[in-house]
Amino acid sequence: MAWLIALAAIGARFIAITQPFIDNWSWRESDVAAIARNFFENGFHFAYPQIDWAGNAAGYVGTEFPILPFMVALIYKFSGAHEWIGRLETILFFAASLPIFYLLVRRIFRESVALWALFFFSLAPLNIVASRAFIPDVPSLFFSLAALYFFLRWLEDDDRWSWLIASIALSLAILTKATSAILGLPLLYLCCQRFGTSFVRQTRLWIFAAIALLPAAIWYWHARQIAKHNYPYHFFGAGGFEIMSLTWYAGIFWRVVTRSLTPLLSLLALGGVFILPRDKFGRVFHCWFGAMLAFVFFLGYGNRHPWYQLPLVPIVAVFAAVLCCEIAKRIEPRLVKGVFIAAVVILFADLAFVYARTSYRPASSDLYDVALRLREITPADSRIVAADGGDPTLFYYAHRKGWHFLEKNGIWQGPPLDSAVAIADLEKLRDRGATHLALPFRTRWWLDYYSEFAAYLKQNAEPMEVTSRFAIYRLTRSRKTNETAQ
């Protein structure tokens, strides 16, 4: 049964595997894809990941340990750059997480709980979307689950190889996604259950912590230096530590219990969280859940991104599985029990399909359209000013470097207050080497709303292609250049 669930889950991820990175998470995927392509084209300088929205600068940024894009870049040497390669790599990490998660739950509880948990874990909409997206969160979750499983094996069996694998897995989890450090709380719980308060005197635990944390500390210090000294001075995830309003958290809560998990899974998990297991290590998922609640609260602004809540999926899956097993155990006769199981399976699978499919929609198709046209009609060394809403999808598919518009240190600053602000920002970017301006459908209205800006473009730019879908201009020499020439 576990194999059937796993094969069905993996097969579902291959739907639309060749889809361009234009879905709801396009901007995150396009950044990772750009880093992979820049590794491939500019040399495999692992410690210096590059993005495309730094204009005429190199575009070095501080990121998590770039295992995912670097591995994809290596494959590009043999296959060329294709979206399905990045998506496939994430699917493979998801596939590897399935047996680890199943064995972890079965070791703590029993096989029936593990089967239910595997089913919920595999089909939770958030996991479906994340595990086919080119982002590092799924690899990080795989390493987190592996760290938990092998750490538990070491505590119970005193297996030195499990200890080593767990320490390396935890290190890779934190390197791949710094937020995986919250796994420290469930690991601390396991230590207390095994050693009591004497865990602080366990030398192997201190060595374990050193292996897990020192590489991450070194890497993120290096990444911070990269962001500090290189335009656009950007460190991925910076600014996420911010406590927000109750309305903000209510929005996150509603998204999680509906689109991310489905209402059914959320309700089942709510019931399961209050069933306190008697197993020695049975409350490890409660500790992980508590760590996630604190994480969402203190990184309130960062949790505007749905993938930040991905570690909730295995936690909630276990809570729901515990409740389903308790209910099934009390149902007689067998026919009624079978009806209950079938009803939960069919209803959850249907809800998962309904909520997950919304994330497949081409939300950034307008950026994709104008990007392909830019690639056709502009030279390869062009520098594009893109009114793209801060989504780098345009730069990735245009295969051009450039700036978001409006921008400050490479970061999109929103639409202009008036024409004067737009003109000033465009002048600044022209002085820095911008050659073209692109307005996709989402900002095509600027030409009607900012009349003075439109008039400025008539005098200082050449329209290359202006349609109802987008507008592309070639920028003439800047005022400063003209004055110098005169």
Give the mean model confidence (pLDDT) for residues 267-278.
Answer: 91
For the cut 50, the answer to whether the pLDDT of residue 481 exceeds it is no
d(CA 412, CA 388): 9
Nearest to 60 by CA among 229, 239, 176: 229
Lowest mean pLDDT among 26-40, 266-280, 312-326, 364-378: 266-280
Q: What percent of the chain has pLDDT over 70?
A: 98
Using one digit for the tens of pLDDT, what is the confidence trace for 177-206? 999 999 999 999 999 999 988 888 899 999
Q: How many Å apart are CA 52 and CA 226, to the nearest integer? A: 16
pLDDT digits over 377-411, tens only? 999 999 999 999 999 999 999 999 999 999 998 89
Locate 343 and state its tokens. 């009803």
Residue 480 has pLDDT above 70, yes or no: no
Interatomic CA distance for residues 399 and 373, integer angstroms: 11
Strand partners, 403: 385
Q: What type of residue is 60?
A: Y
Condensed to tens digits (0 to 9), the pLDDT of residues 338-347 reads 999 999 999 9
Q: Mean pLDDT, the chain, as a whole number?
A: 94
10, 91 Cβ separation under 8 angstroms: yes
* Rounded-to-integer distance, Cα 99 and Cα 94, Å: 10
Measured distance CA(172)–CA(215) in Å, rounded: 9
Reported as type and span, the H/E element at residue 464 is strand 461-466
CA distances, 405 to each of 23, 81, 385, 439, 443 (Å): 22, 27, 6, 9, 10
DSSP 188-210: HHHHHHHHGGGGGG-HHHHHHHH
Lookup result for tokens 């089942």: 268
Q: What confidence tier does 277 reach under pLDDT thresholds 50, 70, 90? A: confident
- How many residues would you count in the chain? 486
Predicted confidence (pLDDT) at residue 483 exceeds the cutoff of 80: no
Which residues on adjacent β-strands are paired with residue 466? Answer: 471
Neighbouring residues of 209: CB distance < 8 A, sequence distance ≥ 6: none
**Mean of the pLDDT values across residues 280-294?**
95
Q: What is the DSSP letter of 306?
A: G
Q: Which letter, b or e, does each residue of 215-244 get, where b requires 16 or more Cβ atoms within 10 Å of its Cβ?
A: bbeebbeebeebbeebbbbbbbbeebeeeb
Angle at 391 between CA 236 and CA 370, to 5 degrees: 150
Q: Which residues contact 160 (CB under 8 A, 6 or more apart)?
A: 154
Give the model's pLDDT for residue 477.
Answer: 66
CA distance 86 to 69: 8
* Pair 373, 143: CB distance under 8 Å: no
Main-chain dihedrals φ then ψ at residue 244, nearest 5 degrees: -110, -175
Cβ-proximal residues to 131 (8 Å cutoff; 6+ apart), any chain: 13, 90, 91, 93, 94, 138
List, for residues 71-85, the tens digit of each pLDDT value: 999 999 999 999 999
Q: Is the pLDDT of residue 130 over 60?
A: yes
**Cα end-to-end distance, the chain, whole Å:** 79
Torsion angle of C-alpha atoms 228, 234, 236, 240, degrees rounded to 10:
90
Place of tokens 């396991």: 190
| Residue 296 identity | V
* For residue 369, pLDDT beyond 80: yes
CA angle 384, 386, 388 (to 5 degrees): 150
Rounded distance between C-alpha atoms, residue 251 and residue 51, angstroms: 31
Cβ-Cβ contacts under 8 Å for 6 (sequence gap 6 or more): 95, 98, 99, 102, 118, 122
What tens digit of pLDDT does each residue of 438-448 get? 999 999 999 99
The model's pLDDT over 195-244, given as tens digits with 9 standing for 90+, comes to 988 888 899 999 999 999 999 999 999 999 999 999 999 999 888 889 99
Q: For residues 155 and 165, what is the distance between their CA atoms, to the nearest angstrom?
A: 13
Tell me if 9 sits within 8 A of 122, measured CB to CB.
yes
Q: What is the pLDDT of residue 238?
A: 84
Helix (H, G, I), strand (E, B) or coil at 428: helix
| pTM of the complete model | 0.95
Query: Which pair of tokens denotes residue 397?
Result: 């598919």
Alpha-carbon gap, residue 179 to 299, rounded angstroms: 10
CB-CB contact of 251 with 309 (8 Å):
no
Rounded to an integer, what distance in angstroms lies between the CA atom of residue 395 and that of residue 75? 22
How much is the pLDDT for 280? 83
365's tokens: 């198709």
Percent of the chain with pLDDT over 90: 92
- 414/135 Cα distance (integer angstroms): 25
